[in-house]
Chains A and B, each alone.
Chain A
Amino acid sequence: MSEKKYSKQHEWVTVEGDIATIGITAHAAEMLGDVVFVDLPDKGKNVEKEGVAGVVESTKAASDVYTPITGEITDINQSIVDDPGAVNKDPEGTAWFFKIKIKNKSELDQLINKADYDKFAKENQS
């Protein structure tokens, strides 16, 4: 599996072959607070980079989840739909959101590494 990469919309991405696994960052989960609802796209759906691919709601508010990668949804993590609180417990591990069959590998080059993401998150804390 590849090194974990990050987007400035607070998603993380790992790649295995031509499949990307995507979730929201620990920083995003922390900012959201207690997650109480997760909506994921249907399997087989085609999503576009920076398009809305899901919704995550906390006790405070609803937020869209974007995909940093274009492609077809090949799998979704039903366990976080059934137990949304899991997103707070292990956001960058077992609580991944969806897997995508990557259409355009060059999109991966636009993602940033952990150090740069951490710096970005710190500067944009709100």
Chain B
Amino acid sequence: MQIQKTALYEYHKSLGAKFVPFAGYEMPVQYTSGIVDEHKLTRSSAGMFDVSHMGQLSIEGNKELAIELEKIIPIDLKKIKLNQSKYSFLTNAKGGIYDDLIITKVEKGFNIILNAACKNSDFKIISHSLKKKFKIILHNNLSLIALQGPKSSEILEKIINGVSSLKFMNGNKFSYNGKDVYITRSGYTGEDGFEISIANKFVEDLAKKLVSEDVKPIGLGARDTLRLEAGLCLYGHDINESTSPIEANLKWAISKRRREEGGFVGYGKIKSDLNGSLSRLRVGVKPEGKIIAREGVKIFSKDGEEIGSITSGTFGPSVNGSIAMGYIKLNFSKPETVVFLEVRGKKYEAKTSELPFYKKNYAR
């Protein structure tokens, strides 16, 4: 497959980006100041992320569409309010996760933001399930910019009137230079922020405007350290087709009515996980000292029993220490449980931890 570029590729280059291939796209991993600086800047001020590689799907329809989508997405789509966004996932028949997503109710139907690596297969899964009854488009002409950090609202308000009144996980249509944009107050860094959907043609202009307002461009490297500090899952690592949402500690993302009623793909496994058959759980893990525990590192109990494995790990610049998450046998999942991590043949002490590692500042 030929590697793809987002509409901002040349602009990233001019800003000194280092690129890496990610999900079939050539994406900036960092700019000149490095991942730790970019991370801290996002926490203290405002950073701009090009997330145009992610899928932007729209489906047109009303009540009937909500009923159909509820068969593959386990949230209450009948009660979701206009312009409200929800974190959810596409479940598979085994109760695993095809992809995690953000779904927003809009006037014409629903907008769904999908992971880049999964977007084409998601499109097929959703289309197949909806049986061609609804108009469904995966937009290639739209870019997506995430503006994240405590100064995001103040800065974006100067450029786009009215955005500061959005509440977290809510969106609306706005106008930028006379062009329609759809903005949600959301993100994946553990900070307040916005995601701006804008036509490819105009995205560079908006990006330059943000940079002129002292917003710094941030690469995928810092996006990963930020989301991990915030305890958020990275699809393909912390969650995948064989992890159930309950094991992944994402029970909160399934609406109460749906947990009780079911009626979606994979409910059998999810119901039995909810009713006592759960055997493992995603938890935070904090190594003692500076050792980094990356994906695949095995977790052992004090007695030397293998009890799980790490799915993501890095150095967290804001918590100033090594952080990780992984799946662990249920009876070891209580926070502050002493465990051991095997890294390059040596065992290092660690403790299970509450998530997130870093406390959020969302505008409610």
* Chain A residues packing against B (C-beta within 8 Å): 33-34, 36-37, 39, 55, 57-60, 62, 81, 84-85, 88
Contact between A34 and B292, CB atoms less than 8 A apart: no
Contact between A57 and B35, CB atoms less than 8 A apart: no
> Cβ of A57: which chain B residues have Cβ within 8 Å of it?
292, 315
Within 8 Å by CB of B291, from A34, A37, A58, A60, lies: A37
Q: How far is the CB of A124 from chain B (nearest CB, A)?
A: 16
Cross-chain pairs A/B with CB under 8 angstroms, 26 sampled: A33-B30, A34-B34, A34-B35, A34-B36, A36-B290, A36-B292, A36-B314, A36-B322, A37-B290, A37-B292, A37-B315, A37-B322, A39-B344, A57-B292, A57-B315, A59-B35, A59-B36, A59-B221, A59-B225, A60-B29, A60-B35, A60-B221, A62-B294, A81-B290, A85-B36, A88-B34
> Cβ of A33: which chain B residues have Cβ within 8 Å of it?
30, 34-35, 221
Chain B interface mostly helix, strand, loop or mixed?
Answer: mixed
* Besides A33-B35, A57-B292, A81-B290, 19 new A-B residue pairs in contact (Cβ under 8 A), listed by A number: A33-B30, A34-B34, A34-B35, A34-B36, A34-B315, A36-B314, A37-B291, A37-B292, A37-B322, A39-B344, A55-B344, A57-B315, A58-B35, A59-B35, A59-B221, A60-B29, A60-B221, A62-B294, A85-B36
Summed over the interface, the residue pairs from A and B with CB atoms below 8 Å come to a total of 39
Q: How far is the CB of A102 from chain B (nearest CB, A)?
A: 27
Q: How far is the CB of A91 from chain B (nearest CB, A)?
A: 14
Contact between A36 and B315, CB atoms less than 8 A apart: yes
Rounded to whole angstroms, the CA-CA distance of A37 and B289 in the bound complex is: 10
> Cβ of A34: which chain B residues have Cβ within 8 Å of it?
34-36, 315
Number of interface residues of B (CB under 8 A): 16
Closest B residue by C-beta to A61: B294
> Cβ of A39: which chain B residues have Cβ within 8 Å of it?
344
> Cβ of B315: which chain A residues have Cβ within 8 Å of it?
34, 36-37, 57, 59
Q: How far is the CB of B297 from chain A (nearest CB, A)?
A: 11
> Cβ of A84: which chain B residues have Cβ within 8 Å of it?
290
Rounded to whole angstroms, the CA-CA distance of A57 and B225 in the bound complex is: 14
* Chain B residues packing against A (C-beta within 8 Å): 29-30, 34-36, 221, 225, 290-292, 294, 314-315, 317, 322, 344
Closest B residue by C-beta to A55: B344
The 7 closest A-B pairs by CB, nearest first: A36-B315, A59-B35, A34-B36, A37-B290, A57-B292, A37-B292, A34-B34
Q: How far is the CB of A122 from chain B (nearest CB, A)?
A: 16
- Which of B225, B294, B314, B315 counts the most A-chain CB atoms under 10 A from its CB? B315
Closest A residue by C-beta to B34: A34
Closest B residue by C-beta to A34: B36
- Which of A33, A55, A84, A88 counts the most B-chain CB atoms under 10 A from its CB? A33
Rounded to whole angstroms, the CA-CA distance of A84 and B320 in the bound complex is: 12
Closest B residue by C-beta to A82: B290
Rounded to whole angstroms, the CA-CA distance of A37 and B316 in the bound complex is: 12
Rounded to whole angstroms, the CA-CA distance of A109 and B291 in the bound complex is: 36
Closest A residue by C-beta to B346: A39
> Cβ of B292: which chain A residues have Cβ within 8 Å of it?
36-37, 57, 62
Closest A residue by C-beta to B33: A34
> Cβ of B291: which chain A residues have Cβ within 8 Å of it?
37
> Cβ of A59: which chain B residues have Cβ within 8 Å of it?
35-36, 221, 225, 314-315, 317
Rounded to whole angstroms, the CA-CA distance of A81 and B290 in the bound complex is: 9
Closest B residue by C-beta to A85: B36
> Cβ of B29: which chain A residues have Cβ within 8 Å of it?
60
- Which of B35, B290, B314, B317 counts the most A-chain CB atoms under 10 A from its CB? B290
Rounded to whole angstroms, the CA-CA distance of A62 and B290 in the bound complex is: 13
Q: How far is the CB of A26 from chain B (nearest CB, A)?
A: 14
Rounded to whole angstroms, the CA-CA distance of A85 and B35 in the bound complex is: 12
> Cβ of B322: which chain A residues have Cβ within 8 Å of it?
36-37
Q: How far is the CB of A81 from chain B (nearest CB, A)?
A: 8
Q: How far is the CB of A17 from chain B (nearest CB, A)?
A: 33
Rounded to whole angstroms, the CA-CA distance of A59 and B226 in the bound complex is: 11
Rounded to whole angstroms, the CA-CA distance of A34 and B28 in the bound complex is: 16
> Cβ of A85: which chain B residues have Cβ within 8 Å of it?
36
Q: How far is the CB of A87 from chain B (nearest CB, A)?
A: 12
Q: How far is the CB of A79 from chain B (nearest CB, A)?
A: 13
Q: How far is the CB of B49 from chain A (nearest CB, A)?
A: 16
Rounded to whole angstroms, the CA-CA distance of A85 and B294 in the bound complex is: 19
> Cβ of A58: which chain B residues have Cβ within 8 Å of it?
35
Closest A residue by C-beta to B222: A59
- Which of A33, A39, A60, A81 counts the most B-chain CB atoms under 10 A from its CB? A60
